[in-house]
Structure 1
Amino acid sequence: MRVLVIAGFIFLNSLLLTACVDRLDINLPQHTNIIVVDGILNNLPEPQLIQLNRAQTDSVTGRAGFKAITKATVEVIVDSTQVITCHETIDGRYQLPSDFRGKVGHTYQLHFKLSDGKQYLSTKQLMQPVPPIDKVTLRFSLTSLPANTGLLEEFRSGFDVVVDVQDPANQRNYYRWDWSLYEKQDWCQSCNRGYYMTNQLKMVSSYPNILIYQTQPEPSESCFEAPSPSLFGGNYTSLPVFFINSYVCRTQCWDIIPNSKINLFSDAYSNGGLIASRNVGQIPYYTENPALAEIRQSSLTADAYRYFSSVQEQTQNTGGLADGQPAALVGNVHNTANPQEKVIGYFTVGAISSVRYWLDKKDATGIAYGGTYYDPGPKVTFPVPGEQQLFFAFHRALPTVEAYLNFTILGGGIRPPTALCVPSDSRTPNRPEGWRD
């Protein structure tokens, strides 16, 4: 996922709309080197993750980037007594044991030690209860998405996510809503100037003027970029610079598209009342195909609510030239030996009420974002087939099926091969709970 940088604050991965939000690079002071913490623990049976990065600016351009913090010792302290150790799964990502679940009424505190010996500690976070979502409705609108955002090429059709919730009386509640969209994906890999290979290759001949490879038993499942003819003096055909081969999925596959905005609510002025017909998100009309939406309602602590309200103000509610430059948002994690060091991001916990909604899109009108293609050659517009719409929505180009090889392969089976659906934050080969065929 890409990262949104706003004056020293990195808008964390969990808030990004995959393939639709571009990085906003803003010049930061040179030599910026700030730790970024992203950790939200919940009570659901799913991976509980802490992510550690370091925000840095390029010494020449002043542009912001981030680097994963690896080999840290990461722990979560439960009720000030029990210490649970996390393990690093990929660079910068630390996961609690698979059977860990947060529990309402218990406190949690993040502690981590870097490889250089520096130690960091968060404030204690009490997991608050969350009421159930009473009702979820998704309503299609031609103007669901906000205008003038620069996203989706000003495309505005989408589905408004509307919920009803009965707020508990006699207690202060803070809410956050998020959504994820599961869309069926038929294309699992694209190779720029190359070809997808299920097995590794070994060159057995490059003379005279023909490259020959032998398929090896070791798996590859990745793109293989053909060598340039200039390396061998051969006369075989080289692929064009922007030529891309696309490969269909070997198994069923779903893209997971998260929301990109923070949606918060405090019951300060409506304690105990019905939160009725609240719009908690807008899901873009990517394709004409049915999809599955998961709506999540999370509880927040008061201090987490204030923090994310500030993030919301700085990332979503900026007005224009009159607005002041947003400041770096320091969270609730500090260096135990140097409290003056700035640490960005927040560690918090929250109970979640989740509803899965089958989005059949029968009420949608007009054209989906991935539903039509304009060919500038003959200057004609034509519909995109349903199985290609999600690919087109993300890439703004139609998938190109491999037509030929510019070298010879001995063995390896029929071409073109199919590609793996590789599990990630944004993709899964596992049938989502609630999916309908």
Structure 2
Amino acid sequence: MLKRLIFVLLIFTLSCIDPYNIETEQGEQLLTVEGFITNELGPHLIRLTRSDTYGSVFEGLIRPVRQAIVNVRDSQGLVTFLTEIEPGVYATPSDFAAQPGFSYTLQIRLLDGKEYTSFPEKINPVAPIDSVSYRSLSLATDNRLEDRVGVQLVAHFKDPSDQTNFYYWRTNPGMYVVVANPELYTLPPDHPTNPRGPAPKDCCATCYLVENSRLQSFAIASDEDFNGLSTRLPITFIEDNGLRFKDTYRADILQMGISAEAHRFLKLVDQQLSITGSVFDQPPANIRGNMVSLDNPDEVVLGYFIAASVSNKTVYIKREDLEFTATQRIIPDDCQIVPDATLTPPPGWNP
């Protein structure tokens, strides 16, 4: 049963459709559409980017597509416009939520007048997550002296028996307690009177950090092998970098019900990545999503606009509950020197 669960590790910028590298013809610049909407209140984000010309000195540079007109149209004819909140990132109103049973179409008009649309995506129901369990893992690597240590999350749910279901799991950016040792602080080596001399700080030993990593994993599955059954499936692996599990780590899991077409797209991406052998290699073939150009049907548009129902679950992982942990990284300073670390707990933090 578990062998049909597909893990995909991709580079991504937002909690949206994961971007991937792709071979393009000389001079071609491809529009990439990333994002999804769900039946939860927004804002939901759509990111528009365009890669620079293949073969140019700026090859690989991803540029935001600005000043586009972006809207979502439902099957009842209601149109919701998105607002550009930062370069290339468009947000629905905060009170927008997709309606179960409705279909939604993403429509885009660029500054140069070119128009794009997605095929309709229906909001399919999803089984609620009953719970999320976790266990620590130590995985062998090519380096005999250093294993890969981390935490595997497992979703527990009961699949409905009266329909075919396609599942898509994502995690929101992780949050954790940053543990530092300000008492170990020493003066810098260029200090005029006491270089490298001890100078313990009074503050601060613990901070909070919301991760902003471009490296993200997701998993997909269909209920072909567990239709109507209570099921437990591994959905992600969180690597221990020496800081994440020094105290408490929070993971927010999204279990989404997606369309058969969205599932097929994500499966193809996984197969292409498997062929190349590395997530950093370029897939050998273009994988077209559900976005098309209204001006040029032959134009390749990357990405997939997903509309899905979602069930959420939060799990707090405590260090004392883990069998395996990586060697702790020592921060001999105020924890606030860690980029993006703050003394204020993230919203909803309640271990």
TM-score when normalising by structure 2: 0.77
Residue 227 of structure 1 is matched in structure 2 by none
- Match for 1:168 among 160, 164, 175? 160
Is this contact kept in 2: 1:160–1:279, CA < 8 A?
A: yes
Return the index of the structure with the highest Cα Rg: 1
- Match for 1:39 among 13, 35, 42? 35
Is this contact kept in 1: 2:253–2:313, CA < 8 A?
A: yes
Q: After superposition, what is the alpha-carbon deviation per residue over 1:16-41, rounded to whole angstroms, capped at 9, x for unaligned?
A: 9xxxxxx9988754312000000211
- Match for 2:64 among 65, 68, 77? 68
C-alpha RMSD of matched pairs (Å)? 3.5
Residue 432 of structure 1 is matched in structure 2 by 347
Is this contact kept in 1: 2:82–2:90, CA < 8 A?
A: yes
Is this contact kept in 2: 1:358–1:434, CA < 8 A?
A: no
- 2:225 aligns to what SS in structure 1? coil
Where do residues 359-398 of structure 1 align in structure 2 (5 Å cutoff)?
359-365=317-323, 367-368=325-326, 371-372=328-329, 384=330, 388=331
- Match for 1:310 among 265, 268, 287? 268
1:121 lines up with 2:117 in the alignment:
yes
Q: CA 1:317–1:160 in structure 2 vs 1: closer, same or farther (change >3 Å)?
A: farther
Larger CA deviation: 311-320 vs 299-308: 311-320
- Match for 2:169 among 168, 177, 196? 177
Q: How many residues align?
A: 310
- Match for 2:255 among 278, 292, 297? 297
Residue 44 of structure 2 is matched in structure 1 by 48
Report the alpha carbon displacement of residue 100 of structure 1 after superposing the two structures with TM. 0.6
Where do residues 19-418 of structure 1 align in structure 2 (5 Å cutoff)?
28-57=24-53, 59-61=55-57, 63-143=59-139, 147=141, 156-180=148-172, 181-185=174-178, 253-256=208-211, 260-276=216-232, 278-286=233-241, 287=243, 288-315=246-273, 318-319=276-277, 326-365=284-323, 367-368=325-326, 371-372=328-329, 384=330, 388=331
Report the alpha carbon displacement of residue 173 of structure 1 after superposing the two structures with TM. 0.3
Amino acid at match of 2:220: L
Q: CA 1:90–1:140 in structure 2 vs 1: closer, same or farther (change >3 Å)?
A: same
Aligned counterparts of 1:163 and 1:297: Cα–Cα separation in 2: 9
- 1:142 aligns to what SS in structure 2? strand
Aligned counterparts of 1:274 and 1:365: Cα–Cα separation in 2: 27
Larger RCO (CA under 8 A, 6+ residues apart): 2
- 1:99 aligns to what SS in structure 2? coil
Is this contact kept in 1: 2:255–2:312, CA < 8 A?
A: yes
Is this contact kept in 2: 1:78–1:107, CA < 8 A?
A: yes
Aligned counterparts of 2:298 and 2:315: Cα–Cα separation in 1: 46
Is this contact kept in 2: 1:27–1:62, CA < 8 A?
A: no
Aligned counterparts of 2:21 and 2:263: Cα–Cα separation in 1: 26
What are the ranges of 5 or more consecutive residues in structure 2 without an aligned counterpart? Answer: 1-9, 181-191, 193-202
Is this contact kept in 2: 1:255–1:428, CA < 8 A?
A: no
Report the alpha carbon displacement of residue 279 of structure 1 after superposing the two structures with TM. 1.1
Q: CA 1:34–1:293 in structure 2 vs 1: closer, same or farther (change >3 Å)?
A: same
Is this contact kept in 2: 1:15–1:262, CA < 8 A?
A: no
Q: CA 1:126–1:274 in structure 2 vs 1: closer, same or farther (change >3 Å)?
A: same
Report the alpha carbon displacement of residue 364 of structure 1 after superposing the two structures with TM. 2.6
